[in-house]
Structure 1
Amino acid sequence: MNMNASGTLGGRELQKTFESTPNAGVCSITGLKPGNPNWINQDNFIAQEGRVGNTDEAMFCVLDGHGQQGHLVSTQCRERLPQLYRETGNDLSRTCLAMQAELEKSTAMDVKCSGATCVICVVEGRRLTVGNLGDSKAVLGRRVNGVTLPHPLTNDHKPDRPDERQRILQAGGKVGCRQLVVGNGPNGPVRLPMGPMRIWYQVRGETMGLAMSRSLGDGIVHALGVSADPELTEHLLDGEDLFLLLGSDGIWDVTDLNQAVQIVQGVVNKNPHGWVRARRAARRPLGPVQLAASAKKYIFVFVF
């Protein structure tokens, strides 16, 4: 089921998209970008469920686009990742690397300075495999001694993470944060670090930076050590695993894993049937977190 709705933030309209499958609910909200009232929602997702033989299979994915053509990158990934997964023999690493190769060869878009994060989860029977590129996250809501707690499935890929930084520097990339000049001292300008660490590069004389160390697309910085090889996590699902939550950084910038899991658990408590939970959770995205997150933009997927 697909549904579009709208709301307002600061007097400006926000576009919301809802979608649900039998056991999952998706919500995507277009946020606000200062100075660009016509900003396009660059987020995308995959929510597929099926059965192969006697095994239940599903794929869930959140794609958070960035750059001028980030919406094209995330759309292409949404369309191609499921097929590439089958073509590569159900290998998530090969899937993402094949996706990167397709993007870099594409004539329909320029991915030199545009790309997308990707967190992709595949469920085959009781086995959950998670692949991650960038700063979107996946987390399980898991019951521990009768209490629902977050069980993280991903680690962010940032250029200040020691292993990620080392790979980028070895490839010839430059890592640092913006510098704010606040005055002059005896040894020259006094600078203060500002904002997150980035991988810096030049495009037509302009200095640009990417604040993540793995992604799909972003061709220029992939030559400088940014990787399309996902970090993989496997988990054997059991009766203590209650739900799966995937979300882009628009959520995690304003809430932590535990708060998000507790909000979803509150929806679960009110709606005991899986498909009702998924639809209602997607239509009521993270309650008090929604307003703050909407000032940016976000996408998330609930799976029960």
Structure 2
Amino acid sequence: MGYCCSRQLKVNASTVYFSGDAKYPRKTIITIKKRNSREKIIRKETLELVNTEPVLTVSEEFPLVPKLWASACVIPGKDPRGNFNKVCRDFCFVSSEKGKLMGGLFDGHGKEGEKVVTFCVTESDYFFTNELENYSDDYTKFLEDLVQYLELQLEDSSGIDISNSGTSCIIFLIARGEIYVANLGCNRMVLASNTPTIEYHKRRLSLNAKFQFLSEVSNARGKCLNNSLSAFQVSHDHRPNSPSETLRIVSKGGKVKRLVDEYGNFYGPYRVSPNFSNLKGLTVSRSLGDTLMKEIGITSVPTVSNHKIDPTDCFIIVASDGVWRVMGNKDAVDFVESHRSICIKGVDRPTVADVITPENSCISQLLCEEARLRWLAKVENEDTIIDDISCVVIEFFRGEAKEKSNTTLIRAISTDEKENGEEADCRCQNIRMRKVFNENFER
């Protein structure tokens, strides 16, 4: 059953996320549940939530072999109560050079996290453009060296205080019919394929047994989705509570723990912090930067994986944990497969509308909106803030591109926007997804 979205109607978030419709109203009513130490709901708080606007949405064709469509989106997180202005520390890029395509996604943290991410995007593109030809066909070595280059540049040349700031990252290269991916942290690449026999790591959404609401939301949202494709995780997650990661951290004098609220309830992801300290800690076990945390086992050594592209492979999804904390691999693949043919292509700016739908947005923005909708369920049930959400979708084959809607609901958020209100052209050559938003734009 669907629901009605209009400017006048304030829609309850639960009505939206328990429906099967790909409609995402900008304004919703949320009811946050507060629980005591026995998990009993002791009070409820109702708020009107206005979603943040994307700071990046781009979709473009790459005339490579095979021909690719790439799209990317970044949506800032938000404190639903508005107690603090959450700075967006996610960003991503895609770039092509001499028949090869590279993309990356960075999820920053700490006071200087935004600066770290901006620096890494710029330096990654530089390294790709100037150094790739020196690696012949050893693309695994190229990605390993790129990650270490970023680490050294952050330490020696960035001018950024990275003692307690850094970023997780995932960087991929498509060359000679193969995908190579290097990962630090919990960003992830998932492949959608018509081949059910490939045996990669299959990850389901991990849920706290006390809170099965995300599973219920997933079931409700998935009833109308196309589930014909298989989902295979190509990259490797680095989580503090993974046995090998925990062992390294503990051996270096660190500890792995979760935070505890005023009622004694554990909440949020596992974190790394120094032993005998009260610091909140870091939610990843591998990252760029974070020089003080390197002393207790945080490392910048990536895990590199590769996959030979098969004719039955359809697309890849590269996303931050803003997606993967609320969606399983198969959830995301089914969602993209069900909507990518009806989403618009060839966009160079975010869709800003009262209601986001497949008819007015590209597939990357739609996937981010779906993840944000599921975050509303976490907000209502776990009293948390909405994380930054970002993704890149690379399609290996597609139907005919749908023309961009001629609508006044699409506008540019750009530092180049002209004073007379005329929208500037913010298309980036080779879809190099540099920042297209004003640094003073309120996120």
Q: CA deviation at 1:67?
A: 1.1
Question: What's the secondary structure of 1:207's corresponding residue?
Answer: coil
Q: CA deviation at 1:155?
A: 2.2
- Distance 1:207-1:106 versus aligned 2 partners, 3 A rule: farther
**Length, aligned pairs only:** 284
Query: What amino acid maps onto 2:326 in structure 1?
Result: V
Q: Residue in 2 aligned with 1:158?
A: 239
Q: Which sits farther off after the overlay, 62-71 or 76-85? A: 76-85
Unaligned runs of 5+ in 1: 1-5, 183-190
Match of 1:60 among 103, 108, 116: 103
Q: Residue in 1 aligned with 2:121?
A: 78
Unaligned runs of 5+ in 2: 1-24, 29-47, 62-68, 197-226, 348-357, 377-385, 396-443
**CA–CA distance in 1 between the matches of 2:363 and 2:49?**
25
Residues 21, 47 of structure 1: 8 Å contact kept? no
Is 2:385 aligned against 1:301?
no
Residues 115, 216 of structure 1: 8 Å contact kept? yes
Structure label with greater radius of gyration: 2
Residues 46, 78 of structure 1: 8 Å contact kept? yes
- Distance 1:99-1:287 versus aligned 2 partners, 3 A rule: closer
Is 2:143 aligned against 1:92?
yes
Q: Residue in 1 aligned with 2:298?
A: 226
Q: CA deviation at 1:206?
A: 6.2
Q: Residue in 2 aligned with 1:38?
A: 85
Q: CA deviation at 1:36?
A: 4.7
Residues 21, 49 of structure 1: 8 Å contact kept? no
**CA–CA distance in 2 between the matches of 1:290 and 1:179?**
24
- Distance 1:286-1:296 versus aligned 2 partners, 3 A rule: closer
Q: TM-score, normalised by structure 2?
A: 0.58
Root mean square deviation, CA, Å: 2.9
Match of 2:254 among 173, 178, 184: 173
Q: Which sits farther off after the overlay, 211-220 or 283-292? A: 283-292
**CA–CA distance in 1 between the matches of 2:339 and 2:309?**
21
Query: What amino acid maps onto 2:50 in structure 1?
Result: R
Q: Residue in 2 aligned with 1:292?
A: 374
Q: What are the equivalent positions in structure 2 for 1:209-224 lying under 5 Å apart?
A: 209-224=281-296
- Distance 1:133-1:176 versus aligned 2 partners, 3 A rule: same
Match of 1:29 among 52, 71, 75: 75
Match of 1:110 among 161, 175, 197: 161
**CA–CA distance in 1 between the matches of 2:177 and 2:346?**
19
**CA–CA distance in 2 between the matches of 1:135 and 1:44?**
15
Q: CA deviation at 1:112?
A: 1.1
Query: What amino acid maps onto 1:210 in structure 2?
Result: L
Match of 1:239 among 306, 311, 316: 311
Residues 259, 280 of structure 2: 8 Å contact kept? no
Q: Residue in 2 aligned with 1:267?
A: 339
Is 2:216 aligned against 1:134?
no
Q: Residue in 1 aligned with 2:53?
A: 15
- Distance 1:180-1:269 versus aligned 2 partners, 3 A rule: closer
Q: Residue in 2 aligned with 1:186?
A: none
Query: What amino acid maps onto 1:14 in structure 2?
Result: T
- Distance 1:274-1:196 versus aligned 2 partners, 3 A rule: closer
Q: TM-score, normalised by structure 1?
A: 0.83
Alpha-carbon deviations, 1:209-233, whole Å to 9, x = none?
0111011111111122111111111
Q: Which sits farther off after the overlay, 139-148 or 118-127? A: 139-148
Residues 201, 208 of structure 1: 8 Å contact kept? no
Q: Residue in 1 aligned with 2:273?
A: 200
Residues 8, 14 of structure 1: 8 Å contact kept? no
Alpha-carbon deviations, 1:131-161, whole Å to 9, x = none?
0100111111111269311110122211111
Is 2:318 aligned against 1:280?
no
**CA–CA distance in 1 between the matches of 2:83 and 2:237?**
28
Question: What's the secondary structure of 1:210's corresponding residue?
Answer: coil
Is 2:225 aligned against 1:149?
no
Q: CA deviation at 1:21?
A: 2.6
Question: What's the secondary structure of 1:238's corresponding residue?
Answer: coil
